[in-house]
Structure 1
Amino acid sequence: MIKISPIMFFVFQCMVCVSQTISGEVVYTKKLNFEELKDRIGQDNNEQTVLFLEKLQKESQNNEYLLSFSGKESNYTMVKRLVNDSDRGALSKLNLGSFIGDFYFNFQTNETIHKKEHLGEPILMLSYTDPQWQILDEEKIIGGYRCTKAEWDIVYNDINNNPKHNKIIAWYTQELKMPFGPEKYNSLPGLILEVEDGRSRIVAKEIKIHKDSSIVKIKKPKGGREITEKEFEEEARRIILQRMGKTGNK
């Protein structure tokens, strides 16, 4: 297992500088982990909800997401949804973690902006990436590219502020030396073609590389209330606890 050291990171930056004239697009599909989702709602014993999850699990794999990148910047967003409006509402209520909005990443500054809607209000969630990837001695072929395995153990706090761990598994290819990937997963020495985060599996299905950075234009998200990722998590936790308290008083 190899942890990305400062020296490796410097070499990585040099490699990326060479590829600054390249742009491209990657289409991903995302398949939900049905068993994990069932475990999350198992206490409800709601047959209708379980049936909905079975339907959603089948339909979600047909949703498509687009990663666009050019030079030092990338953007990730959904481009195709096959879930109707009523299902979308149920998905939101169950909080199944489907990706919404637009995710912007600047490799040079490590700045990320996730533009989405929260409680009917557009927000710009700001953060700076510091992924602690560990590169493993495992390889496999994805879409004709030889990929290397990497892991990232994310520590976060649950609704009760208890620390939890979530292991992220990514597969990246050094044949495409761009530090981008789907959602918030990036900063590896090659394009990420597959990610597993416990709740879902994201896999590249179509890759287009252009030897001209001007072909793909990346726009930095604007228009929304700015909030840091930590502030957003605290705000969301407070709202959920308030709602749980109301439920408990009934």
Structure 2
Amino acid sequence: MKKIIIASILMISGFIQAQNFQGMAVYESKTSTADFMKGMQGNKDITPEMQKQIEERMKKMFEKTFILNFDKSASIYKEEEKLDAPGQQGGGRMMMSMMGGGGTHYKNVKQKQVIVDKEFFGKEFLIKDSLPKYDWKLDGESKQIGSYNCFKATAVVKVSESDFRNFRFRNKEGEKKEETAKDSTKAKKTNFTDDWEMPKENTITAWYCPEIPVNQGPENYWGLPGLILEVNDGKTIILCSKIVMNPKDKVEIVPATKGKEVTQKEYDEIVKKKMEEMREMNSGPGGQQRGGFRMGGGR
């Protein structure tokens, strides 16, 4: 068995050393919707029928397939192209972008650069920044992913405020008594997003494959001694389902060029400011919504 593994590693290493080497990996991304649905509970404006529709739409947005094309130094990570389903125009596309979909992630490990193109509220942005630094802690634990032997690594990372997959539902149980003791004339919160919070940092668990000695991975993940085949941040799981070495159809691994150039921090601030504006629009006097923004989007 060990001889077979060693032979596989030598064969793959030979592929990677080739001048025109490319690899392709397919990833399935699933994000738990529990926190989002919990945040809608108790909202009198949302009927059970509406809640079911929202849950179905969110499930589709939160379960996506991505393709990672990579060579020895760079990669392109892009959502698999599909025909737009009804309701996926306009607001639906905006929400997909905020939930980690849409656009492309380009990483160049030699230049330590990441370039991501995003569309937000009809505007195209080109996020150019340095690759995030991960202080990976390597673990001796191993497991099989498909036919590949993978090893565990963990890291604590700063959360992106423009990625709404990171939202957590705030535990309000301990605050109820305190709230009832406050001035009854104080305006009550009417927006269900008031019960959400964005953590400052998160613990990432990754599984990498030394048999494929490239320090690439899905999204912005990189920096391990082998291709990252699985990532879990507690809410979102990204799992590799297929790997092809030197596919017949080569892909040009180059970054996007269109859009307003911003850093990741600048883009986060733009999204944060816009969402605060939408929150104000959706929380009119008496708790009535005034804006047209909807979670399921598009109508």
Q: TM-score, normalised by structure 2?
A: 0.67
1-structure distance, mates of 2:251, 2:67: 12
* Aligned twin of 2:167: none
* Aligned twin of 1:175: 211
User: What do you get for the CA RMSD once the two structures are aligned?
Assistant: 3.2
Q: Does 1:201 align with 2:237?
A: yes
Q: Does 1:64 align with 2:56?
A: no
Assess if the C-alpha contact under 8 Å between 1:59 and 1:82 holds in 2: no
Q: Deviations over 1:164-220 (max 9, x none)?
A: 2222221110010011111111121110111112332111111011299x9443112
Paired residue type of 2:236: S
Assess if the C-alpha contact under 8 Å between 1:103 and 1:113 holds in 2: yes
Structure 1, gaps ≥5 residues long: 1-14
Question: How many pairs were matched up?
Answer: 232
Paired residue type of 1:34: T
* Aligned twin of 2:135: 132
Assess if the C-alpha contact under 8 Å between 1:133 and 1:151 holds in 2: yes
Assess if the C-alpha contact under 8 Å between 1:20 and 1:70 holds in 2: no
Query: Highest Rg: 1 or 2?
Result: 2
Work out which of the residue numbers 244, 260, 265 in structure 2 matches 1:225.
260
Paired residue type of 1:118: F
2-structure distance, mates of 1:83, 1:211: 27
The correspondence of residues 115-194 of structure 1 with structure 2, limited to 5 A, is 115-129=117-131, 130-156=133-159, 164-194=200-230
Assess if the C-alpha contact under 8 Å between 1:24 and 1:216 holds in 2: no
Shift of 1:122: 1.5
Shift of 1:50: 4.1
Assess if the C-alpha contact under 8 Å between 1:60 and 1:83 holds in 2: no
Once structures 1 and 2 are overlaid, which stretch shifts more, 115-124 or 105-114? 115-124
Shift of 1:77: 0.3
2-structure distance, mates of 1:136, 1:116: 34
2-structure distance, mates of 1:215, 1:105: 17
Work out which of the residue numbers 248, 271, 292 in structure 2 matches 1:236.
271
Assess if the C-alpha contact under 8 Å between 2:156 and 2:203 holds in 1: yes
Counting aligned pairs with the same residue, the percent is: 26
Paired residue type of 1:138: E
1-structure distance, mates of 2:99, 2:214: 26
Alpha carbons of structure 1 residues 157 and 110: separation in structure 2 relative to 1, 3 Å? closer
2-structure distance, mates of 1:174, 1:19: 15
Q: Deviations over 1:8-28 (max 9, x none)?
A: xxxxxxx9xx74743200011
Which protein has the bigger strand share? 1
Structure 2, gaps ≥5 residues long: 1-12, 163-193, 286-299
Assess if the C-alpha contact under 8 Å between 1:75 and 1:105 holds in 2: yes
Alpha carbons of structure 1 residues 34 and 127: separation in structure 2 relative to 1, 3 Å? same
Once structures 1 and 2 are overlaid, which stretch shifts more, 138-147 or 240-249? 240-249
1-structure distance, mates of 2:219, 2:230: 11
Assess if the C-alpha contact under 8 Å between 1:112 and 1:126 holds in 2: yes
Alpha carbons of structure 1 residues 41 and 155: separation in structure 2 relative to 1, 3 Å? farther
Paired residue type of 2:138: I
Assess if the C-alpha contact under 8 Å between 1:68 and 1:75 holds in 2: yes
Shift of 1:31: 1.9
Paired residue type of 1:68: N
The correspondence of residues 8-87 of structure 1 with structure 2, limited to 5 A, is 19=17, 21=19, 22-42=21-41, 44=43, 46=46, 47=48, 48-54=50-56, 56-57=58-59, 61=63, 63-81=64-82, 84-87=85-88
Shift of 1:73: 0.8
Q: TM-score, normalised by structure 1?
A: 0.79
Assess if the C-alpha contact under 8 Å between 2:32 and 2:62 holds in 1: no
